[in-house]
Amino acid sequence: MSSDEELLESLLAGEHRALARVISKIENRSPGYRELVSELYAHTGEADVIGITGSPGAGKSTLVDKLAETYRDRGETVGVIAIDPSSPFTGGAVLGDRIRMASTVGDMDVFVRSMSARGTLGGLSTATADAVKAMDAFGKDKVIIETVGAGQNEIDIVRTADTVAVLVPPGSGDDIQTLKAGILEIADVFVVNKADRPGSDRTVQELRDMIQLGDGGSGIGGGGDGGHHSQEVIDAHDDWDGEVEDETEVAGWTTPIVETVATKSEGVDDLIDEFTSHRTYLVDSGEHAEQVRGRYAEEIRTLLREDVHALLEDRLAERGGIDDLAESVRAGETDPYSIAGELLDPVEDCLDELETEDA
C-alpha cells in the first residue's frame, strides 16, 4: 500500500491528523494530490456546505464560532475553512492558522483550517473546493466556509456552498444599494449581525423591501443570471412550509432575514433553522441536484483550463519563451494570432485523433 493510500485510509477512518495532511497536500498541490482527490469523490455528498460571507467587521468569525458550538451541542461534527488573504510572495495565508473560535478550541469534532485565497476572486480557489471534499469524505456533518469579504467579488463561494449566508452590519443602508448588484444577490439567508446596535431595524426593513421588490428577477430573492438561484426559482413566494405535493408545484425560496447577536449567541438557533429549511427546499425542489451538476461542470472547466494552460506554457518554453515570441511580433515577423494558432495546432490534432479513434 502506497503512502497516499494509507493517508486516504486514515482519513476515512476518522483521523484528524490525516485530514490535516490531506488538506496540506491539496493546498500545496503536492505530487499525487490529484489521485488523492479523485479517490475522495466516492465518499462525498453527505455534508451540508454553508458559506458565510459579508463585509469586514460584520462579525463573521464570531458567528462561525457560535454556529460551530451550537451544531456540536446538537451532536453534529463541524469542519470550518477560513479563507484568508494571500501573501503575494508565498501564496500562503498571511493571517496564519488563526484560531479566533474560543468556544470550540480543544474540541476535535470542530476542525478549523485556514486556507489562502491565492488571489482568486471571492477568496475561493480550486484547493478550497477540494478541501471541502476532504472534510465531507472524512465525515463532517457540516462544513462552514468563511470568506475574506474584503471587497472582492464573493460569487465564487456559490460554486462550493449549498447555502450562502450574507452578513450585513446594522446601519449599512447606503452599502446595501452599492452591493445590490453583487454580493447581496448570492444570499440564501441574510444575517443582520450585531442586531443590538443602532440602525439594525432600518437595515432589516431595507433588506425586506429589496426582497419584496425583487427587481423583476435580477435582484434579491430572485437570482437572475449568475446568481445562486436558478431560473425556476426567480419568482419567489412568501411561504415555504417544507412540504411538497408535486415537484412541479414547488414554491421558490424567499431569502429570509435573521437578526443575530453572535457575541451573546442570540439568534443562532434561528439561523440554523433557516439553514435547515433551505436544505429541505433544495432537495425537495430538485435545486440541489442542479447545484451539484453546475458545480461539477465548473470544476471540469477549471481543471481543463489549468491543464491546457500548463501544456501551452511547456510549448512556449520549447519555442524560446514568451519574450522571444513577443519580440518576433514587435519586429513584424509574425502576429499574436498566428503564434496562438501554431501553438494550439498540436492540441487540436490530438483531439482530432481521439475523435477518430472513438468513431
**pLDDT number for residue 176:** 65
pLDDT tens per residue, range 222-239: 443 333 543 333 333 334
Domains of the chain as residue ranges with CATH: 44-214+254-284 (3.40.50.300), 304-358 (no CATH)
Is the Cβ–Cβ distance between 86 and 80 less than 8 Å? no
In this structure, what C-alpha cell is assigned to residue 305? 483550463
Q: What single letter denotes the amino acid at residue 288?
A: H
CA atoms within 13 A on the CB side of 109: 12
List Cβ neighbours of 230 (8 Å cut-off, separation of 6 or more): 223, 287, 290
Burial category of 353 from C-beta neighbours within 10 Å (exposed 0-12, middle 13-18, buried 19 and up): exposed
Angle in degrees, 0-180, between the axes of helices 16-27 and 126-138, rounded to the nearest 10: 160
Express each pLDDT in 65-78 by its tens digit.
Answer: 999 999 999 999 99
230 C-beta neighbours (distance < 10 Å), count: 15
Q: Which amino acid is at 268?
A: V
The confidence band for 199, taking pLDDT boundaries of 50, 70 and 90, is confident
Give the model's pLDDT for residue 79.
95
What's the confidence (pLDDT) of residue 216? 41
**pLDDT for 47 beyond 70:** yes
Rounded to an integer, what distance in angstroms lies between the CA atom of residue 116 and that of residue 27? 8
**Angstrom distance (rounded) from CA 218 to CA 289:** 23
Is the pLDDT score of 258 beyond 50? yes
Q: Is the pTM of this model over 0.85?
A: no
Mean pLDDT of the chain: 79
Q: Residue 278: what pLDDT?
A: 97
The SS3 call for residue 192 is: strand
Backbone phi and psi for residue 221, each to the nearest 5 degrees, phi listed first = 85, -10
d(CA 80, CA 315): 40
Least trusted range by pLDDT, from 125-139, 215-229, 233-247, 339-353: 233-247
Instruction: Identify the band that residue 105 occupies on the pLDDT scale cut at 50, 70 and 90.
Output: low
pLDDT above 90 (res 215): no
